[in-house]
Amino acid sequence: MTDFRQEFIRFAIAQQAVRFGQFKTKAGRLSPYFFNSGLFSDGGSLYQLAQFYAKAILASGIGFDMLFGPAYKGIPLVSATAVTLAQSGRNLPFAFNRKEAKDHGEGGNIIGAVLTGRVLIIDDAISAGTAVRESLDIIRAAGATPCGVVVALDRMERGTGKLSAMQEVQEIYKIPVISVATLDDLVSYLKTDPARATDLDAVGRYRDQYGVTTNG
């Protein structure tokens, strides 16, 4: 596990963006942990989150020409990540969409740079893959090429079949999905903290029931 992944897990727990207990997922499952990127809700935490996104993007080696953030959570994420990448010497254009097309002013449903070249999608998570599908349609309709998706945490959890939501996106759309951290990283962190033994056990049982082995 690379250092930034372990650092991200510690940071997310400290910000209470990762919480432990009992939470109902969209699939109706009772999960022993919950991740909510909306809790990075001040300037400092959003800036740190964007740094982790930038590190994951650069570590992946993926080639891209610009960034796109799907509304709504993807909007602050793509904006902050673009700023962070610029600070590291990669000043790239970015854009995001609005849910409803604007019929006055500049019109349309895209704000920011013109979609062109290889477009990397920045979002918080993939659940049913709906936001990814909509983003791909928007990018392709503009004549650009979606080249990958970056999310914060890969839960490595099965969807309706044997694959996780991230695996399904990779298989159906033939594009890579990168995560800042995975459930493997969360489990590795919990193993280092004896006070988290109960959480580790609960996450392990849940993973045995719903988990997938890899998103490669």
Active site residues: 102, 104
In terms of DSSP bridges, do strands 145-154 and 177-182 run parallel, antiparallel, or are they unpaired?
parallel
Reduced to 3 states (helix: H, G, I; strand: E, B; else coil), residue 184 is helix
* C-alpha angle 120-122-123 in degrees, rounded to nearest 5: 145
Alpha carbon of 116 to those of 144, 145, 176: distances in Å? 5, 7, 19
Contact status, residue 46 vs residue 104, Cβ threshold 8 Å: no
CA distances from 168 to 27, 104, 129, 173, 215 (A): 16, 38, 8, 8, 9
Task: Give the number of C-alpha atoms closer than 13 A to the C-alpha of residue 99, restricted to the C-beta side.
Answer: 4
Task: Tell me the C-alpha distance between 78 and 16, whole Å.
Answer: 22
